[in-house]
Amino acid sequence: MNLKKYTTQERGKAANLGRKLDVPSVLISQWANGTRQVPAERCPEIEKATQGDVTCEELRPDVDWAYLRRSNDHKTNAA
- Where in the chain are the domains? 3-78
Least confident of 2-11, 17-26, 63-72: 63-72
Residue-wise pLDDT tens digits, 33-43: 999 999 999 99
Burial of 35 (0-12, 13-18, 19+ CB in 10 A): exposed
Domain at 3-78, CATH from 1.10.260.40, 2.60.120.380, 3.40.50.10470, 3.40.50.970: 1.10.260.40
Predicted TM-score (pTM) of the model is 0.83
The 3-state DSSP class for residue 1 equals coil
Helical pair 13-21 and 25-33, crossing angle rounded to 10 deg: 110
pLDDT digit string, tens, across residues 27-72: 999 999 999 999 999 999 999 999 999 999 999 999 999 887 786 6
pLDDT of 16 above 70:
yes
